[in-house]
Amino acid sequence: MATVEERVKAVTARVLNVDPAEIKPEHYFTVDLGAESVQSVELVAGFEVEFGIEMDEEEALSVETVGAAVEFITQVCKRQGVPIEEWRRPRRAARKDPP
Amino acid sequence: MTQPARKHPLVDATEPNLLEDTFAYDLPPRIHLDGQVVETIDGKPVAFDFAAVKDRDIHITDTTFRDGQQARPPYTIDQMVRIYDGLARLSGPRGVVRQTEFFLYTKNDRETLDRCRALGHAYPECTGWIRAVKGDFRLVKEAGLRETGMLTSSSDYHIFHKLKFKSRRECLESYCEVVAAAFEAGVRPRCHLEDVTRADIDGFVLPFVDRLMEMSRGVPEDQAVKIRLCDTMGFGLSYPGARLPRSIPKLIYKLNRECGVPSPRLEWHGHNDFHKVHVNGATAWLYGCDALNTTLFGFGERTGNPPLEGALVEYIALKGDLCGIDMTAVTDLADYLRSIGLPIPDNYPFAGRNFNTTRAGIHAGGLRRDERIYNIFDTAALLNRPPRVAITDKSGADGVAHWVNEFFGLKGDERVSKIKCAKLARWVIDQYEVEGRLTTISDEELEARTRELMPEHWARFKGGA
């Protein structure tokens, strides 16, 4: 499963039509990524669909950066019992054959 | 730098003060009047007690069928009966709309009057309107009316240039003969002082009214002359300090306190040529006229008369009580009059299609949070007209969400958030940004798109519709 951050970036990239590789946690949706008024609402709607959650409108729309969105969505998912991958687990090291 | 005359410290608060003593929302905003108002008249200060209006028997009279009809093709008899029925709903049990006047000259005029009276409403009382001609009183008497208006033009423009009298005395004597004929016929004359705001007040109006008062002393009170002050060209001014003949305060003072015409026998009739018609009418109430003559939706000769529905809102605001008035009749009458071709502008207060419709997204956002922010009073309860949002590129998701909630009729927690309306909001924006649209989106278009883009909500709130 992709991490919350990856999924947030994917939705953001799709709604705002930007390259996901360019999106950084410190980016503001409006100033840095160019989200207009209706796009902010579309982003929140997109996050709800992506994660299968319901977000409070006022709280969700007050989130300004990608990183803050990741944190906020993580908290909502936990409250609503939605399973998520919070961070990418380090790839398991290749088992060495016993000597 | 100028020093402030007084400092104003912030009164900090953590709870809002919504000033509900004035803005109660279930009524039009109250008009609270404090203390006395002083006007300088003939060099002397004269006090007026505006607060007394709350206890005075101020009321509204109607001339929709007379002045109102002078501005349009004639109504049919059925139409007038329907309108009269609506006026009765607006009158309430106390007769706030006290009287309405009818022409009496044709068979249709008389049949209309008979059919309106046959409805059996206590208010508005039907009165007549005739020329200042002695023979016309026969019509009034035959119609069984107790009161009639009659033209008694008061400016020299009318006396000399229209009516062609050779002198003011000849004019005055002619009018008084007609008043005497009214008394003889047992009819109360209501003298319409046409063009009074352009008349020589000291030279003609006051001597004429003195004479009318003298004549009235010889008849029972219910027949004594009433005076209608006709601001025929809309020249009247409400400002303190304005000079006669345009000053409404001074005109009323002169008639009321110098000539002794009691307030119940004084009436104001205005015109809107200078955009002052409603405030001038309310001013007349405050300075001592008990009756304010109006027409539905202000429709009257040229620019129109004081709007009746505006006067009702003013009345309620001054009294602080609905007084049994059914204000939803305003909406019903507006719908009816539109259906028979009366052009009520969309932005016309209280009755226009868009009087409480916003197009701005930021206002729609306010409406969604608390309707009171951008609605003048509870227009849904009082006028059966909930506040609405017209959808354009300026409406934003807030506007679209407000429209959706109004369309589904959702209240409180049931209301749909704008997040759920994102697809519809996107469609709206694309109409303008992608399709290059320049017109407002109609309710029918939005309804179709709501069905398509919000199918779950449609199924939940509209069922199989």
Chain A positions in Cβ-Cβ contact with residue B423 (cut-off 8 Å):
45
In a domain, B30, yes or no: no
Domain containing B59 — which CATH number? 3.20.20.70
User: For B176, left (φ over 0), alpha (ψ -120 to 50), or beta?
Assistant: alpha
Q: Are B363 and B374 in contact (CB under 8 A)?
A: yes
In a domain, B56, yes or no: yes
User: Does B248 share its domain with B366?
Assistant: no
Instruction: Identify which has the larger pLDDT, B380 or A87.
Output: B380
User: Does B182 share its domain with B213?
Assistant: yes
CB contact burial B44-59 (16+ within 10 A = b; e otherwise): eeeebebeebeebebb
User: Does B222 share its domain with B333?
Assistant: yes
Q: Are B127 and B190 in contact (CB under 8 A)?
A: yes
B426: nearest CB among A38, A44, A60? A38
Chain A: give the shortest CA distance to residue B20, in Å: 27
B56 touches chain A (CB under 8 A): no
Instruction: Flag if A38 and B419 touch (Cβ within 8 Å).
Output: no
User: Does B93 share its domain with B186?
Assistant: yes
Q: What distance in Å separates the CA atoms of residue B116 and residue B402, rounded to the nearest whole number?
A: 43
B417: nearest CB among A37, A42, A57? A57
Task: Record the pTM.
Answer: 0.86
Please give the C-alpha separations between residue B338 and each of B178, B346, B351, B455, in angstroms, as whole numbers. Answer: 39, 11, 10, 35
Query: Quick check: A94 pLDDT over 70?
Result: no
- What pLDDT is attached to residue B465? 57
Task: Please give the distance of CA B345 from its chain centroid, rounded to a whole number.
Answer: 15
Burial class for B270, CB neighbours closer than 10 Å (0-12, 13-18, 19+): buried
Convert the pLDDT of each residue in A12-42 to its tens digit: 999 999 999 999 999 999 999 999 889 999 9
User: Does B166 share its domain with B302?
Assistant: yes
The residue among B369, B417, B418 with the most chain A CBs within 10 A of its CB, best to mutate, is B417
A42: nearest CB among B361, B396, B422? B422
User: Does B165 share its domain with B240?
Assistant: yes
User: Does B172 share its domain with B124?
Assistant: yes
Convert the pLDDT of each residue in B306-345 to its tens digit: 999 999 999 999 999 999 999 999 999 999 999 999 999 9
Q: Which two tokens stand for residue B402?
A: 């407000």
Q: Are B135 and B178 in contact (CB under 8 A)?
A: no
In a domain, B28, yes or no: no
Q: What distance in Å separates the CA atoms of residue A72 and residue A74, rounded to the nearest whole number?
A: 5
The size of the A-B interface in CB pairs under 8 A is: 30
Please give the ipTM for the structure prediction: 0.84
- What pLDDT is attached to residue A99? 47
Strand partners, B228: B192, B267
Q: What distance in Å separates the CA atoms of residue B140 and residue B163, rounded to the nearest whole number?
A: 23
Convert the pLDDT of each residue in B44-72 to its tens digit: 999 999 999 999 999 999 999 998 888 88
In a domain, B1, yes or no: no
User: Does B44 share its domain with B87?
Assistant: yes
Q: Are B453 and B426 in contact (CB under 8 A)?
A: no
Q: Are B61 and B124 in contact (CB under 8 A)?
A: yes
- Chain B residue closest in CA terms to A59: B419
In a domain, B2, yes or no: no
User: Does B280 share its domain with B386?
Assistant: no
Q: Which two tokens stand for residue B211?
A: 């004479």
Per the structure, the complete domain to which residue B404 belongs is given by: 359-462
Domain final residue pick, B339, B369, B391: B339
Convert the pLDDT of each residue in B401-433 to its tens digit: 989 998 888 888 889 999 999 999 999 999 999
Q: What distance in Å separates the CA atoms of residue B257 and residue B168, rounded to the nearest whole number?
A: 24
- Per-10-residue mean pLDDT, chain B, length 465: 85 96 96 92 96 96 92 92 97 96 92 96 95 83 93 96 96 95 93 98 98 97 97 97 97 98 98 98 98 97 96 97 95 96 94 88 72 93 91 89 89 90 95 91 91 94 74
Chain A: give the shortest CA distance to residue B443, in Å: 20
User: Does B369 share its domain with B335?
Assistant: no
Q: How many domains are there within chain B? A: 2
User: Does B234 share its domain with B308?
Assistant: yes
In a domain, B289, yes or no: yes
Go through the domains of chain A in sequence order and give each one's CATH number.
4-79 (1.10.1200.10)
Burial class for B207, CB neighbours closer than 10 Å (0-12, 13-18, 19+): middle
Instruction: Identify which has the larger pLDDT, B2 or A58.
Output: A58
Q: Which two tokens stand for residue B363?
A: 């206002």
In a domain, B183, yes or no: yes
Q: Are B366 and B360 in contact (CB under 8 A)?
A: no
The one-letter code for the residue type at B427 is: W
- Chain B residue closest in CA terms to A56: B417
- What pLDDT is attached to residue B418? 93
